Structure 1
Amino acid sequence: MQRREFLVGSIGLAAWAGLGAWAAEKRPETDEGTPFDGSTVRQLARQLSQSPYKGPNDPLPDELKKLSYDAYRAIRFRPQNALWREADLPFQVQFFHRGFIFTDRVAIYEVDQGRARPVRYSPSQFSFGETTPPKPDADLGYAGFRLHAKINRPDYYDEVAVFLGASYFRAVAKGQVFGLSARGLSIGTGNSKGEEFPAFRSFWIERPSAQARSIVVYALLDSASTAAAYRFTIRPGDETVMDTEVALYPRAKIDQAGLGTLTSMFFFDAQDRAGIDDFRPAVHDSSGLAIHTGSGERLWRPLSNPRDLQVSGFADANVRGFGLVQRNRDFRVYQDLEARYEQRPNAWVEPIGDWGEGEVQLYEIPAHNEYNDNIVVFWHPKEPFQAKREYIYTYRLHWTNRDPNVDDRATFARTRQGAGHDGRRLFVLEAVGEALKKLPPDAEVRGDVGASAGKILHVVTQPNPHTGGWRLSFFLDPEKATAVDLHARFVRGQEALSETWIFRWTPP
């Protein structure tokens, strides 16, 4: 696990409010479990939302709270203690110790035959490196967990999903390494008063059958503004898919909610490396934001590491999908033998049902290294969430190498820009795909280019024999603008030959 995997949860976590039989407390070893079904967590969330929010109250010894990153990373769960290790099931579960920035306890239960039983913590389940282990009878509990399954080899349980820190979780598919993260819910992103970080407080993991291809995880989320219930049906494989059901029960009005939240890292690439002194040509978990609009248009927005915070909104109704994509899978683009950025997953949010009006919001945050996530994207509903109501959302989250926003139209593979004369900027876009490849060199293809400010000049389209695609170039004269939103696509007559490229230019 890499450094940034721990840092994503470093901002304060919300509280656990005790719920009787479900509180994260010591319980007798003879516990026969508590009845559990698919409605249990919703009932708990609804009940929790009717009580005032309470902060966490499960102290952790100072020596664990003050652990360094390296010392915490050295605390390892012993694989022989994994849940279902001896049962020869398709899944196993390992756990994270509390410490470092992950100080709050989460309650974790195994659900089997309609009854939920707590998973017992013991210091003997872990090796602690140079950190002094807790006393043998300590009951410190867990910070989170990870799921393992055989997705790469028939004789090895690979780590396929992690739930750790606030409402963060992440997953990989076959042949991938961990990259971007998802969040159960975001509230107040970019708010000058500070962002609220809801947190998963309890998890219930269903024991799978011997033939199962999926595993079900329930989660209870809590924060000052809301309680919520989640149901994840996780199917790992060539593409890892999470069917996600969310039931929100706000305590208070929520104006700035984010659903299907994704967080990623974009440090630099070949066209955006001002001031970068690095042997690698590009360093990023995701190269662009892809959106499939409710009207059927497909958008591609290359990411940037801006000088100042940039917030973009893409209004829509019943958006069909959005996600963060690592479009180039060639090692030569990244040249990092350890990070393997070419193997980082795409994450695609596919709404199920009517999500109504709202907008996909993109936050690009200035970053000075690769260790912090600086890209955030989510669906922001147009109407605020009101207190004392129930809101149900369902979506399918894909972790995949497949570019999820591609049809028979061409896609933009490269975005380059450079200085022109008289303060102008030259943009050069490379598009590839069958819609362009099959065209004769003398085809009447034009570039449809627009800008929110300034002027677009000298638009040129031409086939590129080296890529089998076409090149679109143009100059932007920003005039006095400090930010310009651009859009471009290839067209032939009235027919769109490509997805729509969108980009925000800001001064370097």
Structure 2
Amino acid sequence: MTQHFQQHMTLPLRRVLAGAIASAMFMVAGMASIHAQENEPAPAEQSAETPKPASTPAPTTGVPSEQTASGDQPEQVETPPENADEQTTSSEAPKQSNISKPVMFDPAMVTDLARNLAAQPFENPHRELPEALSTLSAEEYAQIRFKSKRAFFNPAETDFSLELFHPGTMYDVPVTINLVRDGEVQVIPFSVGLFDFGKTGLSGNDFTTQNYAGFRLRYPLSDVTSNDELTRFLGASYFRLQGQGQSIGQMARGLAVDLAGPTGEEIPVFREFWIVEPTDGADTITVYALLDSERVTGAYQFDITPGTCSQADITAHLFFRDGVEKIGIAPLNGMFLFGEQRRRFFDDYRGEVHSSDGLLIHNGRGEWLWRPLENPEHLQMSAFLDENPIGFGLLQRDRNFDHYQDLERRFDQQPGYWVTPKGKWGKGHIELVEIPSPSETNDNIVAYWVPETKPAAGGEMQVEYSVTATRDGTGLHGMSQATDTRIQRLSSQDDDDQAGTRFVLNFAGGDLDYFIKDAKKLRADISTSEGEVHNIRIMPDPENGGVRVIFDLVNTSDATSSNLRAFILYQDRVLSETWTMPWAF
């Protein structure tokens, strides 16, 4: 029996490096800056070779805002003007005589920042926004859009483009964003002139702010003329990734700390980014990030490759200010309001509402597990014990639009995320957290890896993995998949009968099409940790091209919950992944 147990249970860094990281100071001297023209586009006669300097350049995380470590003024670079005909490409870095030693980027620079940051007292990164921004609704905030004609990177050299997010609503952490251009670090100072405030009634003169909230990378995923969103980093350590034909859906995180723990969750944030401008014709873009929270800091590298299944290859080097009870590696965030089983009632015209419908696990023993998601009545946590996991992910298997009937959210097109560990992760468990939710606005599903060894104060950890945006996980394995889970409470027929629960499972794909011709030799292996399984039936399902398994679960003791498992065999040959689910009597 799989080692698996189920538990039921009833959200300015200006002084950090001043005088604290002498080893990294030489890299900060002469920090360049990209100047974003305030409010008005650059005049046609003004060349990028002679930019108008910003009055106060935006500081990087590790540098006091008044000046660089050496006292030199940062170099200024114009962003592309709003008028496309007058556009000077943002790849043309100017030259200034007072900059003798530009900062040349080295990935070790980010690691040094994280290491030294962990040696300093934690400083809360959240800042009070002007009321005009903090009171914006989600719909109003969406009206503030980056002007696409001001996007960074030269379209003659790369298909990637960079856009920025304005602070507002819940996004109150000032994020420093740097470009790495020809190896040189250049800061992007904040500019309201890069944004269109839509119907909010706001303008850049209504408030002052110091930095951005995050960024978005675009790439022509659909066709060569499109400008699709590839990824966005916005809020805490969240990021999204999309492949060809996919719409915005679930999210991933940089790290989870004590999520759903008794002391409350600690939420790390990405405070600074270094985005490497792609070389001519490059099909991968690299982003470095500095993570910070009360007890942990981290240096991250994201190598992002667009495609049918876009992928981010991630390296994280973590440093711990203090011990952590539970660290969550490669966290994935999804939303599940209701599915075909409809265990909770929602007055909704849509048949299903979710961005993910199951957790797929390929454990270190080679077994494939499928765990359907729920919107439980109480907080529910599941732990899947493992050693050196091969992969796990939150997937959206149901791709039938008719099941959702949502033309706006397009749940049928939203991506699933698959995590592939690199190297051996050792002992631990994959944890699934399902949080009761009354609304689709809540991302109430989280899955991540928890190492068995708890991080200690002063310790560090390195981890590598990839996150792939896939449609339904097809191709991850060649076995039959559990595609549907339907549940019915049974009523007692007389006083001597015990009421039970009926489970109806559909399996399709793999080799079932071949073996279904000899359906009499197909059998379903059903097991339960508590109670008894009765009335097992398996039958061909020509409508779905697979088989249907039906069984009843009856509680024969005073147990309050059970763990169920089911898979399909042809004689002794396993044809399907293992369906598994907790059940509360």
> TM-score under structure 1 normalisation?
0.93
Aligned-partner residue type, residue 540 of structure 2: P
Which residue number in structure 1 is paired with residue 249 of structure 2? Answer: 179
CA-to-partner distance for each residue in 1:87-143, whole Å, 9 max, x for gaps? Answer: 542211100111111011000000022221101221111112334323399552100
> Given the alignment of the two structures, is residue 286 of structure 1 paired with residue 356 of structure 2, yes or no?
yes
Task: Judge conservation of contact 2:318–2:460 (CA < 8 Å) in 1.
Answer: yes
Pick aligned residue for 2:121 from 36, 52, 59:
52
User: Which residues of 2 match residues 256-405 of structure 1 at below 5 A?
Assistant: 256-403=326-473
Distance 1:137 1:270 in 2: 48
Larger radius of gyration: 2
Q: How does 1:443-482 map to 2 (within 5 A)?
A: 443-479=520-556, 480-482=558-560
Q: Which residue of 2 aligns with 1:30?
A: 75
Distance in 2 (alpha carbons) for counterparts of 1:426 and 1:15: 56
Q: What CA distance in whole angstroms lies between the structure 1 residues aligned with 2:160 and 2:214?
A: 16
Q: Answer whether contact 2:253 2:331 (CA < 8 A) is retained.
A: yes
Q: Distance in 2 between matches of 1:502 and 1:51?
A: 45
Aligned sequence identity (%):
37
400 and 436 in structure 1: CA distance in 2 versus 1, 3 angstrom threshold: same
User: Structure 1 268/58 Cα, relative in aligned 2: closer, same or farther at 3 Å?
Assistant: closer
Give distance in 2, aligned partners of 1:266 and 1:15: 36
Task: Tell whether the 8 Å contact from 2:130 to 2:207 is kept in structure 1 after alignment.
Answer: no
Q: Report the CA distance shift for 1:372/1:57 in structure 2 as closer, same or farther (over 3 A).
A: closer
- Displacement of 1:406 in angstroms is 4.0
Which residue of 1 is the match for residue 568 of structure 2? 490
CA contact (8 A) 1:16 1:55 kept: no
Alignment of 1:47-446 (within 5 A): 47-56=116-125, 60-84=129-153, 88-129=157-198, 130-135=200-205, 138=208, 140-403=210-473, 406-422=476-492, 423-439=499-515, 440-446=517-523
Comparing 307-316 with 19-28, greater Cα deviation is found at: 19-28
Q: Which amino acid aligns with 1:19?
A: L
Q: Kindly indicate whether the alpha-carbon contact (under 8 Å) linking 2:561 and 2:583 is maintained by their aligned counterparts in 1.
A: yes
Task: Tell me how far apart the structure 1 counterparts of residues 207 and 524 of structure 2 sit (CA, whole Å).
Answer: 70
Q: How much has 1:26 moved relative to structure 2?
A: 6.5
Contact 2:176–2:271 (8 Å) recurs in 1: yes
Higher mean C-alpha deviation, range 18-27 or range 267-276? 18-27
- The answer to whether the 8 A contact 1:89-1:208 is kept is yes
Tell me, in whole angstroms, the C-alpha distance in 2 between the residues paired with 1:59 and 1:189.
25
Can you list the C-alpha shifts for 1:141-167, whole angstroms capped at 9, x where unaligned?
100000011111212321110100000
Query: C-alpha distance in 2, partners of 1:29/1:17?
Result: 19
Amino acid at match of 1:157: N
Structure-2 residue corresponding to 1:4: none
CA distance in 1, matches of 2:439, 2:343: 12
AA in 2 matched with 1:436: L
Q: Distance in 2 between matches of 1:424 and 1:243?
A: 46
Q: Which residue of 2 aligns with 1:5?
A: none
Q: Classify the secondary structure of the residue corresponding to 1:35.
A: coil
2:577 pairs with 1:499:
yes
Kept in 2, the 8 Å contact 1:327–1:403? The answer is yes
Separation (CA, whole Å) in 1 of partners of 2:475 and 2:561: 27
Could you tell me how far apart the structure 1 residues matched to 2:464 and 2:235 are?
22
Select the structure that is richer in strand.
1
CA displacement at 1:34 relative to structure 2: 2.0
Structure 1 residues 188 and 462: alpha-carbon distance in aligned structure 2, compared to 1, 3 A threshold: same
Change (3 A) 1:145 1:367: same
Q: What is the Cα deviation at residue 59 of structure 1?
A: 5.0
1:482 deviates by 2.9
Q: Structure 1 residues 85, 35: CA separation in 2 closer, same or farther (over 3 Å shift)? A: closer
Q: For the Cα contact (< 8 Å) 1:49–1:249, is it kept in 2?
A: yes
1:343 Cα deviation after fit: 0.1
**Following TM superposition, by how much is the alpha carbon of 1:478 offset from its aligned partner in structure 2, in angstroms?**
2.7
The one-letter code matched in structure 1 to 2:271 is R
Residue aligned with 1:179, SS: coil
Structure 1's 306 and 348: CA in aligned 2 closer, same or farther, altered over 3 A? same
Amino acid at match of 2:455: F
Question: Aligned pair in 2 of structure 1 residues 30, 461: CA closer, same or farther (>3 Å)?
Answer: same
Query: In the TM superposition, what is the alpha-carbon distance from 1:421 to its structure 2 partner?
Result: 3.5
How far does the alpha carbon of each residue in 1:145-199 deviate from its partner, in whole angstroms, 9 at most, with x for none? 0001111121232111010000000111011101000000000111122100000
1:302-339 deviation line (CA, Å, top 9, x unaligned)? 10111111100000000000000111111111111111
**1:19 matched to which residue of 2?**
17
Distance 1:347 1:17 in 2: 37
Deviates further, 365-374 or 488-497: 488-497
Moved more, 392-401 or 411-420: 411-420
Instruction: State whether residues 17 and 53 of structure 1, in contact with CA within 8 Å, keep that contact through their aligned partners in structure 2.
Output: no
CA offset at residue 502 of structure 1?
0.2
Give 1:237 deviation, angstroms. 1.3
Matching residue's letter, 1:120: P
Rounded to whole Å, the distance in 1 between the matches of 2:142 and 2:544 is 44
**Other structure's SS at 1:204 match:** strand
What amino acid is the match of 1:449? I
Q: Is the 8 A contact 1:16 1:222 kept in 2?
A: no
Larger displacement relative to structure 2 (283-292 or 82-91): 82-91
Q: Distance in 2 between matches of 1:478 and 1:370?
A: 33
* TM-align CA RMSD: 2.0
Q: 1:308 to 1:57 in 2, by over 3 A?
A: closer
Give the letter aligned to residue 391 of structure 2: G
CA distance in structure 2 between the aligned counterparts of 1:26 and 1:282, rounded to whole angstroms: 54
Q: Kindly indicate whether the alpha-carbon contact (under 8 Å) linking 2:340 and 2:485 is maintained by their aligned counterparts in 1.
A: no
After superposition, the C-alpha distances for 1:40-62 in whole angstroms (9 at most, x for unaligned) are 11111111111111123755323
Structure 1, unaligned stretches of length 5 or more? 1-10
Question: CA offsets per residue over residues 231-269 of structure 1, 9 Å max, x none?
Answer: 000001111000000001111111210001001000111
436 and 87 in structure 1: CA distance in 2 versus 1, 3 angstrom threshold: closer
Moved more, 498-507 or 294-303: 498-507
Which range moved further: 47-56 or 404-413?
Answer: 404-413
Whole-Å separation in 2 of the counterparts to 1:142 and 1:159: 18
